[in-house]
């Protein structure tokens, strides 16, 4: 199956923080791939800015290196062509230098987007400069990366700073999980099929498990991570977003505000989480591999590199259905999934012949995106009637043709910015609502002086996380199973 590529309008994309890690690893390779498939029009331009005093040739060389290193593949001629669309203007984000040059480099008759791939402390200042120097036109877009603050107060401050210069419809807050193919597929699965929706409620669903397990540690990002921890770094944004898409009511249409209205309702319905329903952990040293504490260089750190918690959504559809969220670093496998456990059949007509367990629908985000449905069947063969579990398994890569290159989330999201489609971006009230739920949970453990327990690298996390489930008579799905 070949996907259609519809070219976007010509644009000037100004990339702040163009020499930074995210720009080099994700944003520039993503743009290259969109150019390669013909979605970026010929007269689109990418204007890198940063403080470094470099010329366009120097920056093009950096971009070439980044794409050779981080793009999933590249063609030399296409890359040469792509680089002719790339320019560089040195700008002091909070000073005066460079803004006039940047203004002179922009065209009036194309889509204008400012991508702030910089720390959140710079968002309001850059927004203000863009306005003061007349660069922020009524139709221009501003894109901001996560973290969007580190608590409700700071998120409100960022929203106020951005909204002083841009309208909400111009602001694109990135949560790259929303750009992942299977995350969007979750919406298609729920709202483009009639099979699931009648069952998608507390009457039929026992519980939901959302897991984002990583094998990487925090080495290299220790300073940022130790101020955040898994709760702020992953739960407040990525896992809450996955929970929203799993739990939200069907929007009336697939439009940015209809979808985001429904997501905000889910976040606002999240009940406070009791401290006894949380398990936090830090990975310990392991066969020559340093511990979390070594990686962040803070032997007293009480920040978690793993968290599991039980959330409840207080509304009619989900009353009494626990949503177990779990994420951590240095775990057994890189694996992200949403597993929806249906209730066991109410009555068995097959006594003593094997397990009679509810169906489980697993939506795999990575690796190997796809969907699995656990069903119970009769064990094949004559001589008795026994039951066993089998999975109906669909791998998207296989189903849609093995040679389709997996698209990175950033490719989709940057093109959506140019198209002016905010559906897959967080609205300001959504980010604030998520912090309003997360803040008291963090305050709770800080006030109690709780410390994370230790877990082995390559494991599924600390014992406490297993206990959290066992207490409820349930089990986590195995990571890396």
Q: 284 or 330, CB closer to ligand BG6? A: 330
The distance of closest approach from Cβ of residue 190 to ligand BG6 in the complex, given in angstroms and rounded to an integer, is: 22
Residue 276 Ramachandran class (φ > 0 left, ψ -120 to 50 alpha, else beta): alpha
Q: How far is CA 246 from CA 58, 197, 242, 355, in A?
A: 46, 11, 6, 27
Task: Please identify which residue in the block is written with the tokens 């990487």.
Answer: 216
The distance of closest approach from Cβ of residue 233 to ligand BG6 in the complex, given in angstroms and rounded to an integer, is: 5
* Strands of the sheet with 205-213, listed across from one edge: 387-395, 370-378, 360-366, 335-342, 205-213, 323-328, 306-311, 278-283, 453-455
Closest by Cα among 97, 117, 104 to 12 = 104
Residue nearest to ligand BG6 (CB): 233
Does the footprint of ligand BG6 cover residue 233 (CB under 6 A)?
A: yes
Does the footprint of ligand BG6 cover residue 277 (CB under 6 A)?
A: no
The distance of closest approach from Cβ of residue 145 to ligand BG6 in the complex, given in angstroms and rounded to an integer, is: 9
- The CB density around residue 262, as the number of other CB atoms within 10 Å, is 17
The distance of closest approach from Cβ of residue 146 to ligand BG6 in the complex, given in angstroms and rounded to an integer, is: 6
For 426, the 3-state DSSP assignment is strand
Question: In the structure encoding, which two tokens stand for residue 24, read together?
Answer: 């080099």
Q: 217 or 251, CB closer to ligand BG6? A: 217
Q: 27 or 313, CB closer to ligand BG6? A: 27
Pairing of strands 306-311, 323-328: antiparallel
Total residues in contact with ligand BG6, by rule CB under 6 A: 3
Which is the catalytic residue, given 207, 238, 295, 312?
238
| Distance (Å, whole) CA 113 – CA 281 | 40
Q: 44 or 183, CB closer to ligand BG6? A: 183
- Region 367-426 residues binding ligand BG6, contact defined as CB under 6 A: none
CB 162 within 8 A of CB 131: no
The answer to whether 238 is a known catalytic residue is: yes
Q: 231 or 309, CB closer to ligand BG6? A: 231
Q: 214 or 430, CB closer to ligand BG6? A: 214
For 93, the 3-state DSSP assignment is coil
| CA 22 to mean position of chain CA atoms | 14
Question: Within the chain, what is the greatest distance between any pair of CA atoms?
Answer: 84
Q: 136 or 417, CB closer to ligand BG6? A: 417
For 410, the 3-state DSSP assignment is helix
Among 12, 36, 214, 430, binds ligand BG6 (CB under 6 A): 214
* All residues at 6 or more sequence positions from 24 whose CB lies less than 8 Å from its CB, including other chains: 62, 63, 66, 69, 70
The distance of closest approach from Cβ of residue 195 to ligand BG6 in the complex, given in angstroms and rounded to an integer, is: 28
The distance of closest approach from Cβ of residue 177 to ligand BG6 in the complex, given in angstroms and rounded to an integer, is: 7
- Region 117-156 residues binding ligand BG6, contact defined as CB under 6 A: 146
- Active-site residue numbers? 238
Q: Which residues bind ligand BG6 (CB under 6 A)?
A: 146, 214, 233
């Amino acid at each position: 199956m070949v996907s259609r590529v519809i070219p976007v309008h010509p644009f000037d994309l100004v990339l702040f923080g163009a020499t930074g890690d995210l720009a080099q690893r994700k944003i520039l390779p993503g743009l290259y791939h969109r150019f390669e498939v013909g979605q970026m029009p010929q007269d689109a331009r990418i204007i890198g800015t940063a403080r470094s005093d470099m010329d366009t040739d120097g920056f093009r060389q950096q971009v070439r290196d980044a794409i050779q290193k981080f793009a999933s593949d590249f063609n030399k001629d296409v890359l040469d062509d792509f680089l002719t669309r790339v320019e560089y203007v040195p700008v002091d984000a909070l000073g005066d230098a460079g803004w006039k040059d940047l203004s002179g480099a922009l065209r009036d008759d194309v889509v204008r987007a400012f991508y702030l791939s910089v720390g959140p402390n710079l968002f309001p200042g850059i927004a203000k400069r863009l306005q003061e120097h007349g660069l922020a036109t009524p139709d221009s877009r501003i894109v901001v990366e996560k973290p969007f603050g580190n608590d409700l107060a700071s998120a409100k401050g960022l929203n106020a700073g951005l909204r002083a210069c841009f309208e909400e419809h111009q602001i694109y807050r990135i949560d790259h999980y929303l750009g992942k193919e299977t995350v969007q597929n979750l919406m298609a699965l729920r709202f483009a099929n009639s099979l699931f929706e009648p069952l998608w409620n507390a009457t039929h669903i026992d519980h939901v498990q959302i897991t984002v397990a990583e094998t990487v540690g925090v080495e290299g990002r220790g300073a940022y991570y130790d101020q955040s921890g898994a709760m702020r770094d992953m739960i407040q944004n990525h896992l809450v977003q996955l929970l929203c898409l799993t739990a939200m009511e069907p929007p009336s249409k697939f439009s940015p505000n209809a979808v985001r209205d429904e997501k905000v309702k889910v976040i606002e319905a999240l009940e406070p989480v009791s401290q006894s329903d949380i398990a936090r952990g830090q990975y310990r040293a392991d066969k020559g591999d340093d511990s979390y504490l070594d990686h962040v260089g803070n032997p007293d750190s009480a920040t978690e590199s793993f968290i599991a918690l039980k959330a409840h959504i207080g509304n009619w559809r989900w009353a009494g259905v626990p949503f177990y969220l779990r994420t951590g670093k240095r775990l057994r496998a890189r694996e992200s999934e949403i597993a929806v456990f249906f209730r066991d059949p109410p009555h068995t007509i097959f006594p003593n012949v094997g397990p009679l367990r509810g169906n489980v629908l697993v939506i795999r985000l990575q690796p190997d995106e796809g969907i699995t449905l656990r069903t119970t069947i009769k064990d094949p063969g004559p001589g008795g009637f026994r039951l066993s579990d089998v999975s109906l398994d669909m791998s998207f890569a296989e189903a849609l043709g093995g040679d389709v290159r997996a698209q990175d989330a950033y490719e989709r999201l940057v093109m959506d910015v140019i198209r002016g489609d905010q559906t897959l971006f967080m609205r300001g009230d959504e980010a604030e609502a998520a912090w309003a739920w997360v803040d008291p949970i963090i305050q709770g453990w800080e006030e109690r002086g709780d410390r994370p327990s230790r877990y082995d690298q390559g494991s599924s996390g600390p014992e406490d996380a297993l206990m959290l489930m066992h207490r409820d008579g349930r089990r986590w799905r195995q990571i890396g199973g």
